[in-house]
Copies of this chain bind each other. A is one copy, B any other.
């Protein structure tokens, strides 16, 4: 392809507002252009990268007998009413109406669509298992789209759905899918980690998240420095810390504590550490009041609380709700004299606390010398706190470290969450109706460009791994007014094309400096420069990643390139 015929609008400076390195580089290198906040045009180079990724995904999906399909992006709201997600999905759901006032949404994911397809098409277990997938733009009305392709309102996903008659078949498909995904990311040339994901987010049980380490990543990944354990911060299990072995329990006393504003104030007042104070917070889960307690130096983990309830809507109680249910204000909330309808949860570590301080549930007073095991009634103890860096890993091996990651893929065992809601039943071997057992699997295709660019780039521009680079070779005749350079360049181009390489030839009448700078920005793995030595039949080959250059005779170009590509990732 001649560069003069391609739209590659490189820029000297990234437009304002681009913060992430990958975003700046993709804008500067002419890969993407914002059409509206969080919605991007994939320009020709980016589209070539996307296509290559999609083809790797297709090959792997077909390899595990997944069928490619394509569903509408505009979905009847009714389907989402059936699953209950129209209510619970929240403000990220784009909604619209057609001219006849029928309600639609723009699909952020397609569990309902595929479940209803199977419900209407498959009547017997004999037709199962089936795996379906599609590659398609998805929609999330993000409050604040960020970092270019990382968190957009319209983004390309591969989403797959499996249907089987039992958990055994689901497990098999889930494993195949995990392996296929691993193979995809290995082929793409991306560094990634699999971690324990939040399966509850899709209403299922197990889940594995694929996370690409990157500073710009929005997820905190927790991993053990001495084992394979890795999880999203929200999902990382907390080890129970050993309590005091023979504590001497003091008598509980009410103490006047006016003007308390937070846990620190309490600790200060009682001249103790925050870990000797109990933090009590009132939440609303699906409009039910829930009191949650953790140690004063811990943070409540929302996701753990939510998953405890299979709960869909979790929010902090507001001032009015606290007054209504607790009868006190936010600073004195505690697990005492509660109304019957209030559920009380406490983190496991609360049980081991002795002679500590906790709100009295009465304005202006705290209790001192509280011993939860002795003094609390009707409390359910669970793992509810967020782990901290340096703690012991929940598998007992090593201590926890934190890092940042981009969620690039996620696989879920959904079980019967959607098939039950939508009535997707089939007859089993015994002629009985059974809800199909489902899995769902997704790769953030467009987001992968961000992940790769964050991991592999330098100050001069992008550096694409060979399997997804927009072209294999960037061929640069330095001066297209020189006949010998053009002639040698044409010969080399032909030789490379004949050998199946994809070549971008910079036939532009630009200065050498502009051509080289653009070439580095664009980030094609190998650059071949046809300059003054073309007269002697000599050209320069440069590896974008390492910066290494070698001079070769024009006749040796194809061979050299073949050898270089073998070693390149």
Residues of A at under 8 Å CB distance from B? 1-2, 4-7, 9, 30, 33, 35-36, 39-44, 47-48, 50-51, 65, 67-76, 91, 94-96, 98-99, 102, 104, 106, 113, 116-117, 120-122, 126-127, 130-132, 137, 139, 141, 143, 153-154, 156, 509
Q: Do A98 and B67 touch across chains, with their CB atoms under 8 A apart?
A: no
Q: Do B72 and A5 touch across chains, with their CB atoms under 8 A apart?
A: no
Q: Could you tell me the distance between the alpha carbons of A7 and B95 in the complex, rounded to whole angstroms?
A: 30
Q: Could you tell me the distance between the alpha carbons of A51 and B156 in the complex, rounded to whole angstroms?
A: 17
Q: Do B99 and A91 touch across chains, with their CB atoms under 8 A apart?
A: yes
Chain B neighbourhood of A70, CB < 8 A = 41-42, 47, 50, 156
Chain B neighbourhood of A153, CB < 8 A = 74, 98
Q: Do B67 and A41 touch across chains, with their CB atoms under 8 A apart?
A: no
Q: Do B73 and A35 touch across chains, with their CB atoms under 8 A apart?
A: no
Q: Could you tell me the distance between the alpha carbons of A472 and B230 in the complex, rounded to whole angstroms?
A: 46
Q: Could you tell me the distance between the alpha carbons of A1 and B62 in the complex, rounded to whole angstroms?
A: 9
Chain B neighbourhood of A132, CB < 8 A = 7, 44
Chain B neighbourhood of A126, CB < 8 A = 509
Q: Could you tell me the distance between the alpha carbons of A122 and B99 in the complex, rounded to whole angstroms?
A: 38
Chain B neighbourhood of A40, CB < 8 A = 72
Q: Do B69 and A44 touch across chains, with their CB atoms under 8 A apart?
A: yes
27 A-B pairs with C-beta separation under 8 A: A2-B65, A5-B130, A6-B67, A6-B130, A7-B69, A7-B121, A7-B122, A30-B121, A33-B121, A35-B71, A35-B76, A35-B116, A36-B104, A42-B69, A42-B70, A47-B68, A72-B137, A72-B154, A73-B73, A73-B137, A73-B154, A74-B106, A74-B153, A74-B154, A96-B96, A98-B153, A126-B509
Q: Could you tell me the distance between the alpha carbons of A39 and B98 in the complex, rounded to whole angstroms?
A: 12
Chain B neighbourhood of A113, CB < 8 A = 35, 41
CB closest residue in chain B, given A92: B99
Q: Could you tell me the distance between the alpha carbons of A98 and B95 in the complex, rounded to whole angstroms?
A: 8
Q: Do B98 and A96 touch across chains, with their CB atoms under 8 A apart?
A: no
CB closest residue in chain B, given A2: B65
Q: Do A141 and B99 touch across chains, with their CB atoms under 8 A apart?
A: yes
CB closest residue in chain B, given A106: B74
Q: Could you tell me the distance between the alpha carbons of A42 and B127 in the complex, rounded to whole angstroms?
A: 19
Could you say which of A2, A35, A106, A130 has the most chain B C-beta atoms within 10 Å of its C-beta? A35
Chain B proximity of A151: nearest CB distance (Å): 14
Q: Could you tell me the distance between the alpha carbons of A1 and B94 in the complex, rounded to whole angstroms?
A: 37
CB closest residue in chain B, given A42: B70
Contact of A36 among B44, B76, B130, B156 (CB under 8 A): B76
Q: Do A35 and B68 touch across chains, with their CB atoms under 8 A apart?
A: no
Chain B neighbourhood of A2, CB < 8 A = 65
CB closest residue in chain B, given A62: B1
Q: A44-B68, A71-B41 are in contact. Are A98 and B141 (CB under 8 A)?
A: yes
Chain B neighbourhood of A106, CB < 8 A = 74, 96
CB closest residue in chain B, given A132: B7
Q: Could you tell me the distance between the alpha carbons of A50 and B71 in the complex, rounded to whole angstroms?
A: 13
CB closest residue in chain B, given A41: B71
Chain B proximity of A16: nearest CB distance (Å): 14
Chain B neighbourhood of A94, CB < 8 A = 74, 96, 98
Chain B proximity of A398: nearest CB distance (Å): 42
Q: Which 9 A-B pairs have the closest CB atoms?
A: A9-B121, A96-B96, A44-B67, A39-B72, A5-B65, A42-B70, A36-B76, A72-B154, A99-B141
Query: In the complex, given contacts A47-B68, A47-B69, what are 16 additional A-B residue pairs having Cβ atoms less than 8 angstroms apart?
Result: A5-B131, A7-B67, A35-B75, A35-B76, A35-B113, A41-B69, A41-B71, A41-B72, A41-B113, A44-B132, A47-B70, A51-B68, A74-B94, A74-B106, A74-B154, A95-B96
CB closest residue in chain B, given A77: B36
Chain B proximity of A555: nearest CB distance (Å): 29
Chain B neighbourhood of A48, CB < 8 A = 68
Q: Could you tell me the distance between the alpha carbons of A39 and B95 in the complex, rounded to whole angstroms?
A: 16
Chain B proximity of A107: nearest CB distance (Å): 10
Q: Could you tell me the distance between the alpha carbons of A91 and B97 in the complex, rounded to whole angstroms?
A: 12
Chain B neighbourhood of A141, CB < 8 A = 98-99
Q: Could you tell me the distance between the alpha carbons of A104 and B154 in the complex, rounded to whole angstroms?
A: 13
CB closest residue in chain B, given A104: B36
Chain B neighbourhood of A75, CB < 8 A = 35-36
Chain B neighbourhood of A44, CB < 8 A = 67-69, 132
CB closest residue in chain B, given A137: B73
